[in-house]
Structure 1
Amino acid sequence: MTKSWVVGAGGFTPRIVSEDEAARGETGFEPLPSVASAVERVARALDGVGVRSAHPLLDPSFGKATEAWADVQDQAAGEPLIVHFSGHGDVLHGELYLAVMDSTQGSTLRRTALNVTTMLGDAEAGPAGPVLFLLDVCSAGTALSAQEFRKITDRERKAWVIAACGPGKTTFRARFSHATAQVLERLAKGWLDVSPVLAHIPCRPGPGRRAG
C-alpha cells in the first residue's frame, strides 16, 4: 500500500535578531498562515484515494522533522511513498532547503533546515520503494538540479520530484497544495476518467479555451 508523509511549516513567530546575526544574514522566516489548512486538505485527499496518510506533521523542529523522516522511510520499506511539504524553501550554495520552526536563513541554514539533496539521496538508497516528492515551496525546481547531477537513469531512479515552481521562482498561499488536493478529490469522486495505462492525467481545456 502506498504511504505518505505530509509536512507543513508555516507557524513561524517573529524573533529578535541581533546586529551580528543580521550582518551574517541569519534571520528568521515569515509566518505562512495558509499552510496548515492546505496540508490538512492534502492529507484528507490522499486518504480519499486510498493512500495511507497519518495526521500531517505541522510546524516541527529540525530534530523532530529529521527523526520523522527516518521513521517514515522505515515504515514504507518496500512500498511507494509520497512526500508532500508546504512552507518556505531557501537555497544555499545551489541546494534547496526546507525550513522548519527553528530554521534560520544565512550560513546556519544547512544546520537548521532539511536538505532536499540529502533527502533525495536517502530515498534513492533507503528501504522505501519509489518516492514522490511534492514540494510546495519557493525555488522548488532547484531540487531537480540535484537529480540531474546524480545522472541516474529512469530505470534506476527511485526518487521523483514535482515542484510548485522553477528555481528562483516564488509560490503563493499554498496554491500548489490546494491544486494537488483538488486533483486527488476529483479522482476520488470519479470526475477524472483516467486509465491506469496512462503515464499522465490528460489536460482537457475548458469551454471556449484553446489548448496551446
Structure 2
Amino acid sequence: MDSTSWPPLSFVETVVPRLDAAFRKLDYEVHSLRDPQRPALVDAVTRDLGEAGTCLVVHTVSHGKTGDDDTRLDVVPACGTTSLGTNVSEWISAAQERRAPTLFLLDLCRAGRAARLPWLTARAGHDSRAWVIAGAGPDEDAFDGRFSDAVASVLEQLTHDGLGTDPSVEYVSFQTLARRIAERVEAAPGIPQRVHATPIDPSRKVPDLPFFRNPNYVDDQQLKARQAIEPPLRSFLDELDDVMDAEHFLGRVGSHFAGRRRQLRRLARWMDGEVPTSGLRVVTGSPGTGSRPCSAPSCAPRTLSWPPSSPRSAPGCTPPAAPRATTSSEPSTPANGASKSWSPRSPGNSACPNPPATPPRPRWPGTLPACPKPRSSSSTRSTRRWTPNGWSTTCCCR
C-alpha cells in the first residue's frame, strides 16, 4: 500500500492462492483482484453485484477502517484512501436487492460490524439474500490472516466430506460452514479472535443456500423423506433391512398406536373371526410406540384361559391339538375327499375330540336355601363352596 499508516499484509501471497484453488474445486469462476486502487475496487464490486442471476461469494482480505458511524466499515484499497464505494455495509445492502444469494467472507479488522447491521439482524435470516461471515468482532482486530487460512482449510475439507452433511441434503448449510470456520479460528494460537456471522432465528426454517454443494449428495427420495422425520424416530428406519418397504413406514412412524383403541378393536375382530384373515397378523413398533400394551390385552384372554367366550368352542371341551408341520406330500383329508371337523357339543357327546377329564362346574344358581333356625336371630350369614358332589351351602346364624 502507498500509505505508510497501512502496512502491507505479507500473508496475502500465501493464503490467496489456496483460496483460489479451493473455490475452483467447488466449481466457482474465480476473479482475483490484488492490490487494487480505489476505482478498480469499486468497479469490480459494482460489476459483480450487478449480475443478479448468479450465486456470488465475495472474499475480502485487507485492512478495515471504522468511523463515527457504527454501521460503516470501509475496505482500505492499495492507495489507502476510503470514500464512496468502499463501504462494506453498502455492498451488503446492494446484495440484498439481488435475486440470487450473496455470501461475504470478510477478513478485516472489526468486520463484525458488517454481520450485525440493524436491518440484517432484524431479518434474522428470513428472506435474507445477503449473508456475512466476519473474521473478527465489531471491536476486534484480525491477525495474520487467521480467518482466510481457516476458510481455505474448511473449503478444502468440504470438497472431500461435505463437512459431515447428510447425503440427502444437497448443500452444506450456512450454520455448518460458519461454525467450522469459527472453530478453526478459535483454535489458532495468539490473541483471541472471534468469528461473527449473520444471526438466524431458530424458530424459522433456514433456507437451503446454494453456496457450496455437498459432494456426497445422493438424489434419493427415500433419503430426503428420512431427513424430514424427527431425529428420535430415524433410528426406527435405520433398523429396517434394505429389502423391506421403508417407504411404507415413513408416513406411519409415530402414529401406529396413538390411543390404541382403534388397533385393539381391529385385533379383537380379527381374533374373533369376524373379518377374513390369512392367519397371521404382526404387532410391531420401535420402543415406546405402544406395541406391547396393544398386543398384551388382546392376547392374554386367549393364551391364559380356557374355554374362551367365543362361539367357536363350547364349555367343557378342550381345544384340539395344535397342527404340526409335516414333510409329507400326501393330502391331509380322508380318501373320500371330506375334511375332518368338530363342533361344540355337550360334555358327554363323542363329537368333542377331547372330552374333559372332569365335568364342568355349573354356574351358581344365585339363591340360598331357607335357614332352618328360628327367624328370631338377629342376623344371618350364608356361605357356599364347590365340592365333587355339587354346591354346598352353610348357614351361620347368630
Common fold, TM-score beyond 0.5?
yes
> Are the counterparts in 2 of residues 36 and 58 from structure 1 also a CA contact under 8 Å?
no
User: In structure 2, what is the Cα distance between the partners aligned to 1:124 and 1:191?
Assistant: 27
User: In structure 2, what is the Cα distance between the partners aligned to 1:14 and 1:153?
Assistant: 38
> Paired residue for 2:54?
79
Q: Which has the higher strand share?
A: 1
Is 1:145 aligned with 2:123?
Answer: no
User: In structure 1, what is the Cα distance between the partners aligned to 2:102 and 2:120?
Assistant: 18
Matches within 5 A, 1:1-212: 12-13=1-2, 15=4, 28-54=5-31, 56-75=32-51, 77-93=52-68, 94=70, 95-104=72-81, 109-111=82-84, 114-126=86-98, 129-148=100-119, 151-152=122-123, 154-190=125-161, 192-195=163-166, 196=169, 199=173, 200-201=175-176
> Are the counterparts in 2 of residues 48 and 184 from structure 1 also a CA contact under 8 Å?
no
- Structure 1 residue 79: deviation in Å? 2.1
> Are the counterparts in 1 of residues 107 and 148 from structure 2 also a CA contact under 8 Å?
yes
Which letter does structure 1 place at the counterpart of 2:57?
I
User: In structure 1, what is the Cα distance between the partners aligned to 2:7 and 2:97?
Assistant: 34
User: In structure 2, what is the Cα distance between the partners aligned to 1:30 and 1:140?
Assistant: 18
Tell me the alpha carbon deviations over residues 159-204 of structure 1, each in whole angstroms, 9 at most, x when there is no partner: 111010101101111111111010111121337332237633376x
> Are the counterparts in 2 of residues 61 and 100 from structure 1 also a CA contact under 8 Å?
yes
Tell me the alpha carbon deviations over residues 34-64 of structure 1, each in whole angstroms, 9 at most, x when there is no partner: 123212211211111222223x110101100
Q: With CA pairs under 8 Å and 6+ residues apart, which has the higher RCO, 1 or 2? A: 1
**SS of corresponding position for 1:57:** coil
> Paired residue for 1:21?
none
User: In structure 2, what is the Cα distance between the partners aligned to 1:62 and 1:101?
Assistant: 7
Which letter does structure 2 place at the counterpart of 1:83?
V
User: In structure 2, what is the Cα distance between the partners aligned to 1:51 and 1:61?
Assistant: 25
**SS of corresponding position for 1:84:** strand
| Aligned residue pairs, count | 173
User: In structure 2, what is the Cα distance between the partners aligned to 1:57 and 1:42?
Assistant: 13
**Looking at CA atoms only, which structure, 1 or 2, has the larger radius of gyration?**
2
TM norm structure 2 = 0.40
Aligned identity (percent) is 29
Unmatched runs of 5 consecutive residues or more in structure 1 = 1-11, 16-27, 206-212
> Are the counterparts in 1 of residues 108 and 135 from structure 2 also a CA contact under 8 Å?
yes
TM norm structure 1 = 0.72
RMSD: 2.4
